[in-house]
Amino acid sequence: MVRGVVQGVGFRPFVYRLAQEERLTGFVGNDTDGVNIEIEGPEKRVEAFLVRLRSQAPALARIDSVTVREMALAGDSGFQIIASEVLGKVSTGIPADAATCPDCLRELLDPRDRRYRYPFINCTNCGPRFTITRRIPYDRPQTSMAKFTMCEACQREYDDPLNRRFHAQPNACWKCGPRVWLMQEADSASVSGEEAVKQTIQMLMAGKIVAIRGVGGFHLSVDATNQAAVMRLRDRKRRYGKPLAIMVRDLEAAHQVCVLTAEEEALIITPARPIVLARRRDGCRIAEGVAPGIPWLGIYLPYAPLQHLLFADPRVHALVMTSGNLSEEPIAIDNVEARTRLGGIADAFLMHDREILQRCDDSVAAVVDGAPQLVRRARGFVPIGVELPFDVPPLLAVGGHLKNVFALARGRFAYQSQHLGDLENLIGLEFFRESLDHLMRTFEIEPEIVAHDLHPGYLSAAWAREWAQERGLKLIAVQHHHAHVAGCMAEHGLTGKEIGLALDGTGYGSDGKIWGGEVLIASLTGFERFAHLEYVPMPGGEAAIKEPWRMALGALHAARFDVESEELMRLVGARENEARVLARMMDRGVNVPLTSSLGRLFDAVAAVVLGRRVVDYEAQAAIELEGLAVDEPDDVPGYALEFTGGDWAARVPMKMSTASLWRELLTDLQIGMDKTRIAARFHTGVAEGFVKAAMLARSATGISQVMLSGGCMHNRRLARLLRVKLETEGFEVYQHRNVSPGDGGLSYGQVVVAAAMLSQPLSFGDTH
Ligand SMILES: [Zn+2]
Ligand SMILES: [Zn+2]
Ligand SMILES: [Zn+2]
């Protein structure tokens, strides 16, 4: 029995070929939890078979385990592939979408091949999967390929176990498969096939915006080397500062625009083809407007044949390929929907008739501290399950508020949804419902328990309460940072008590305040707060997130600076009356929620160091601050955080004050120190502060394993400094790898906490 991602990835034909080559008899078939193989033959050849089974497995397969059992001889005469049967509960489900493989790419560009320049070429090793599937089993009638009847040649390939397209569900060709056409925004006339591709390239090269239907939705595309076109796209899409992803032809082209490490190179070419955040190469041709104010670019390579066709034209160097939506709305997938929603943005639409049944954005990843980390987990990764440290009952965890991802779980796996975006409006909630329905069908999971965030105002939590009530299901509220830390523990199979650093933007705390700079002593079922950043006011609440100068004023006020002094107002970028009004608000405590968030401290510091008054997107200020320090050495002296109070025996958390950090930082500014150095000193100070907190926690508890979690762990400099400094002090350090450390990973942690609480509800006996 072979378990893992072994169905719908060409595993059975691979086994068939292997058995033929080793001259073994028996059969191979899909089972409910993997692939079942019976082989018979001389011992040496059986052994060789087993070695090759692991070492030569198909590109998209992931073998988790191979269980071998000896059996009585069956005396089979040949080797067969047995038709798939779906029995009981499936655990393998639908594979993730995969980028065009090298074999298909060769055929795509080979004039002698019958699929020469066919925009939908694919095989068992590549092509769409999750995004075209309605429900299990993953078979053609359950996909959006059902309406295309295969021609004789395609059918022959599909039926031949030795063919690369054996049971390749989206198999198609010019004769029988989907087609493309180009429609101008101004009129409804269209051109199709080769002409559509040709005209698309012409329009892009002329600076036009083209909406291109892809694998998981529409992209909005412009020539990434054309600054005016990039700015026009930003204006129309109403996306002003946030970086835009760009696609380049191949690895060589990627090297021309970015300085890539070996790890980044490996990440860029994985079949999941995520957008990879990498250091922009000085003097490269990419327009400034693509990623203003930061030293990185989000780059990726073509993953669909249609994209390869665009890049086959030598004039096309780099294309902006950003989600086809208006600011934070879900990505458009349907032809009609796209014309309505993107009509004011795109000049033309390159469409096709292979329906996208699941919206799925591009994934985003980065190499953090030497290993890949997911920033946004979507196309190419969904719906691959993430392992859990123990078996769980059927469970739904609805995630957070921003960057929402929910998770369904059963048995040893949690299946996270694709990135759903912000659950702030009805479109977002509709996308959430639609995806939940689909994933419930896909895995045949009927949740018995629903886990949600503690925040009383989250749309996801309100929805969860209602949904659970209607169905009479058990509800479990999970504190935000506990979920972050527990998720990190579970990824590494840790089930004891650990130290968790939850360094984050916004999360609702057990005391009703906004947390995010937390040192927790956590188990899977509960936690104690060992230390946290001192609470500071957020003048104006939500407004302080969008306007970092408010945070700066709040933080400095809390650190007992005179925020109405002329000098501070100038530093913060506040006008006189603004400073006065905010100071009064803070003195009276009106509309000033308190926060211990590290993300907000980054905002405050960025406001002062960068003069950033307003942000265009979440975490912009923090990202720019990290970018500012990018060339500074790691060993600059840090600004000190001070520890006050705290009594572990009485469970009173220690407070980490930023008063002296601010004093030192403002002095550096006054003496005219380079801002790059100030940004670096700030990162070091924060890292050293939390390392010290971890050391104090170790003295109090004897625990020496530390989890690094929360959205701030996307900050590469901070993640690296924390890990190195913690290891220097003798800690074992754990970071997220398969789920995002930010709120995209929250639902995985909620699954873990909810399931652990059910099985041992009283083990920690404290707050949730
Ligand atoms: Zn292929
Ligand atoms: Zn065909
Ligand atoms: Zn969070």
Looking at the CA of 150, name the nearest ligand: 2
423 alpha carbon – ligand 3 mean position (Å): 14
pLDDT of residue 84: 61
Q: What is the DSSP string of 228-250?
A: HHHHHHHHHHT--SS---EEESS
Q: pLDDT averaged over the chain? A: 92
CA distance 246 to 140: 32
CA distance 292 to 533: 31
pLDDT band at 32 (very low <50, low <70, confident <90, very high): low
Looking at the CA of 503, name the nearest ligand: 3
Looking at the CA of 709, name the nearest ligand: 3
The region of weakest confidence among 7-16, 196-205, 745-754 is 7-16
The region of weakest confidence among 3-7, 479-483, 639-643 is 3-7
pLDDT of residue 134: 87
390 alpha carbon – ligand 3 mean position (Å): 24
Looking at the CA of 479, name the nearest ligand: 3
111 alpha carbon – ligand 3 mean position (Å): 51
Is residue 211 a contact partner of residue 346, using CB atoms and an 8 Å limit?
A: yes
Angle at 43 between CA 39 and CA 45, to 5 degrees: 70
Model pTM score:
0.92
pLDDT value at 73 more than 90: no
522 alpha carbon – ligand 3 mean position (Å): 16
Provide, rounded to the nearest whole percent, the portion of the chain with pLDDT above 70: 97
Four-CA torsion 201, 207, 210, 216, nearest 10 degrees: 90
pLDDT band at 93 (very low <50, low <70, confident <90, very high): low
- Name, in order, each residue with C-beta under 8 angstroms of 553's C-beta and a sequence gap of 6 or more: 539, 563, 572, 574, 579, 582, 583
CA distance 128 to 689: 47
pLDDT band at 270 (very low <50, low <70, confident <90, very high): very high
107 alpha carbon – ligand 1 mean position (Å): 9
Looking at the CA of 114, name the nearest ligand: 2
pLDDT band at 330 (very low <50, low <70, confident <90, very high): confident
Distance between terminal CA atoms of the chain? 41
CA distance 120 to 112: 17
Q: Tell me the per-residue pLDDT of 370-388, one tens digit each, with 9 for 90 and over.
A: 999 999 999 999 998 899 9
CA distance 20 to 28: 12
Provide, rounded to the nearest whole percent, the portion of the chain with pLDDT above 90: 73
**Phi and psi angles of residue 423, each rounded to the nearest 5 degrees, phi first:** -90, 65
pLDDT value at 77 more than 90: no
According to DSSP, the residues that pair with 321 across neighbouring strands are: 221
Is residue 717 a contact partner of residue 294, using CB atoms and an 8 Å limit?
A: no
pLDDT value at 88 more than 70: no
264 alpha carbon – ligand 2 mean position (Å): 37
Is residue 173 a contact partner of residue 151, using CB atoms and an 8 Å limit?
A: yes
What six digits make up the tokens of 565?
A: 């002094």
178 alpha carbon – ligand 2 mean position (Å): 10
According to DSSP, the residues that pair with 351 across neighbouring strands are: 181
712 alpha carbon – ligand 2 mean position (Å): 49
Please tell me which residue, 444 or 757, carries the higher pLDDT value: 757
pLDDT of residue 761: 53
CB atoms within 10 A of CB 501: 30
pLDDT value at 281 more than 90: yes
Q: Tell me the per-residue pLDDT of 189-248, one tens digit each, with 9 for 90 and over.
A: 789 999 999 999 999 999 999 999 999 999 999 999 999 999 999 999 988 889 999 999
pLDDT band at 414 (very low <50, low <70, confident <90, very high): very high
Stretch 56-81: mean pLDDT, rounded? Answer: 83
pLDDT value at 356 more than 80: yes
Looking at the CA of 168, name the nearest ligand: 1
Q: Tell me the per-residue pLDDT of 334-347, one tens digit each, with 9 for 90 and over.
A: 998 899 899 999 99
388 alpha carbon – ligand 3 mean position (Å): 20
Is residue 744 a contact partner of residue 401, using CB atoms and an 8 Å limit?
A: no
Is residue 257 a contact partner of residue 248, using CB atoms and an 8 Å limit?
A: yes
pLDDT value at 565 more than 60: yes
* Backbone dihedral region for residue 715 (phi beyond 0: left; psi -120 to 50: alpha; all else: beta): beta
pLDDT value at 87 more than 50: no
- Name, in order, each residue with C-beta under 8 angstroms of 66's C-beta and a sequence gap of 6 or more: 1, 2, 3, 50, 53, 54
Q: What is the DSSP string of 669-735?
A: HHTT--HHHHHHHHHHHHHHHHHHHHHHHHHHH---EEEEESGGGG-HHHHHHHHHHHHHTT-EEEE
Stretch 594-609: mean pLDDT, rounded? Answer: 96
397 alpha carbon – ligand 3 mean position (Å): 15
pLDDT band at 86 (very low <50, low <70, confident <90, very high): very low
CA distance 762 to 402: 31
57 alpha carbon – ligand 2 mean position (Å): 27
**Phi and psi angles of residue 308, each rounded to the nearest 5 degrees, phi first:** -60, -35
Looking at the CA of 508, name the nearest ligand: 3
571 alpha carbon – ligand 1 mean position (Å): 57
Place of tokens 């493989």: 101
pLDDT band at 92 (very low <50, low <70, confident <90, very high): low
Nearest Cα residue to 372 out of 735, 737, 740, 719: 737
Q: Distance from CA of residue 744 to its chain's centroid?
A: 6
Looking at the CA of 10, name the nearest ligand: 1
Question: Amino acid letter at 524?
Answer: L
Pairing mode, strands 296-300 and 275-280 = antiparallel
Is residue 489 a contact partner of residue 752, using CB atoms and an 8 Å limit?
A: yes
Q: Tell me the per-residue pLDDT of 625-673, one tens digit each, with 9 for 90 and over.
A: 999 999 999 999 999 999 999 999 999 999 999 999 999 999 999 999 9
pLDDT value at 567 more than 90: no
Stretch 296-323: mean pLDDT, rounded? Answer: 97
Nearest Cα residue to 499 out of 670, 685, 698, 311: 698
504 alpha carbon – ligand 3 mean position (Å): 5
Stretch 488-515: mean pLDDT, rounded? Answer: 96
157 alpha carbon – ligand 2 mean position (Å): 9
CB atoms within 10 A of CB 251: 13
What six digits make up the tokens of 570?
A: 């100038």
Q: Alpha helix (H) ranges present in 530-674?
A: 543-546, 548-558, 566-572, 576-588, 598-610, 620-628, 659-670
171 alpha carbon – ligand 2 mean position (Å): 7
359 alpha carbon – ligand 3 mean position (Å): 24
pLDDT of residue 85: 53
Helix (H, G, I), strand (E, B) or coil at 502: strand
- Name, in order, each residue with C-beta under 8 angstroms of 351's C-beta and a sequence gap of 6 or more: 180, 181, 182, 183, 213, 335, 338
Using CA of residue 184, residue 190, residue 193, residue 195, what is the dihedral sign? Answer: negative
According to DSSP, the residues that pair with 367 across neighbouring strands are: 372
140 alpha carbon – ligand 2 mean position (Å): 14
Nearest Cα residue to 291 out of 320, 329, 311: 320
CA distance 686 to 625: 13
Pairing mode, strands 190-192 and 536-537 = unpaired
Looking at the CA of 157, name the nearest ligand: 2
pLDDT of residue 320: 98
Instruction: Print burial letters for 471-495: b (CB count within 10 Å at least 16), e (below 16).
Output: eebeebbbbbbbbbbbbbbbbbebb
104 alpha carbon – ligand 1 mean position (Å): 4
Looking at the CA of 178, name the nearest ligand: 2
CB atoms within 10 A of CB 228: 12
CB atoms within 10 A of CB 660: 14
Q: Tell me the per-residue pLDDT of 109-161, one tens digit each, with 9 for 90 and over.
A: 999 999 999 999 999 999 999 999 988 778 899 899 999 999 999 999 999 98
pLDDT of residue 594: 97
Stretch 538-558: mean pLDDT, rounded? Answer: 94
349 alpha carbon – ligand 2 mean position (Å): 25
